[in-house]
Structure 1
Amino acid sequence: MVIKVRKARSEKEAAMREKMIPELYANEYNSFIGFEIMELSSTYSKARIKADSRLHNTYGSIHGGALLSFVDAMAGATASMSGYYATTVSANLNFLLPAVNTEYIYCECMKLKTGKHILVFDIRVTDDEGNLLDSGEFSFFASKVPVLGDNLKFGK
């Protein structure tokens, strides 16, 4: 399912979205967890996943590993919107409340800093009521592989 996002601020942002969003949806894991992009830019992004029972842990809430990988995928996409594919350097997610009694889990990524090679994002994970479930900080390394380039493979 594609949710309508706000109009791109520039032609470059529109072109990167046009490339990134299909790549995110084509990923089998993202498809499995029900990844839905609500907003995607280099400074702010938002996505959601359905609180599907296939993602539950033994205790009936969404498994922390599923939440961490969801956030990592969204934050990585946000970092890549800066122009170069990015890879995770560090990931810190504080699990504050269990993800229960909600239809969707939302992830918001807000840019804190962009350096020459490192990008840092503030992360907020909420439920349908806006309750803060998880918070964290993710750092990414911007590769030399441009998002709008012809070559999608790292190391080439």
Structure 2
Amino acid sequence: MNLSKSEMLAKANEISKGTLLETLGIEIIDYGEDFLVARMAVTPRLHQPDGVLHGGATAALAESVGSFAAHLFLDIENKFVRGIEITANHLKAVTDGYVYAKATFIHKGRTTQLFDIRVTDDHDNLVSVCRLSTISLSKPT
């Protein structure tokens, strides 16, 4: 089944309905040969009590975009992907607008994968730097 890029993005966002991605307002917006980009609106619902984006929401965005990238670029017909570890270094506070997470492979092994995930704001300022490791395991037969 050959889908256009816009059809693939629509399908990715459709399967996210009813999940944490929908709850947080995460939308997959672009992908290429070795990257995937998602965005999330920064609203008061995602703020810490002092009015800035909660780091946990940022980490959830990063893990979501990395996991989606693993699914997009690996053989998921015969494998399933799970996150192993995520780290997040938060560098800049955000109060409104959007944050964008771009996942790229650092390591693309058959069993383990490592992603670099850069989170930026509407002005392309670096908000967080994250690393996600995933594992792909054979589906039970």
What is aligned with 1:123?
Answer: 117
SS of the residue 2:50 aligns to: coil
Q: How many residues get paired?
A: 135
1:16-48 CA deviation, whole Å, 9 max, x = no partner?
x47544212x13321121111111356200010
SS of the residue 1:27 aligns to: coil
Pairing 1:4-153 to 2, within 5 Å after superposition: 11=2, 17=8, 20-24=12-16, 26-40=17-31, 43-81=34-72, 82-84=74-76, 85-100=80-95, 102-145=96-139
- Which amino acid counterpart does residue 59 of structure 2 have in structure 1? L
SS of the residue 1:139 aligns to: strand
TM-score under structure 1 length normalisation: 0.76
Does structure 2 retain, via aligned residues, the 8 Å contact 1:42–1:80? Answer: no
Does structure 2 retain, via aligned residues, the 8 Å contact 1:50–1:104? Answer: yes
In structure 1, distance between residues paired with 2:81 and 2:97: 30
TM-score under structure 2 length normalisation: 0.83
What's the offset of the Cα at 1:11? 3.5
Does structure 1 retain, via aligned residues, the 8 Å contact 2:12–2:28? Answer: no
Q: Which runs of 5+ in 2 are unaligned?
A: none
What is aligned with 1:151?
Answer: none
Determine which structure has the larger strand proportion and give its number. 2
In structure 1, distance between residues paired with 2:66 and 2:106: 12
Q: Which runs of 5+ in 1 are unaligned?
A: 1-9, 146-154
RMSD of the TM alignment (CA)? Answer: 2.4
In structure 1, distance between residues paired with 2:31 and 2:20: 19
- Compared with structure 1, are the counterparts of its residues 13 and 43 closer, same or farther at alpha carbon in structure 2 (3 Å cutoff)? farther
In structure 2, distance between residues paired with 1:141 and 1:42: 20
- Which amino acid counterpart does residue 58 of structure 2 have in structure 1? L
In structure 1, distance between residues paired with 2:93 and 2:110: 36
SS of the residue 1:94 aligns to: strand
Paired-residue identity, %: 23
- Which amino acid counterpart does residue 24 of structure 2 have in structure 1? I
- Compared with structure 1, are the counterparts of its residues 114 and 12 closer, same or farther at alpha carbon in structure 2 (3 Å cutoff)? farther
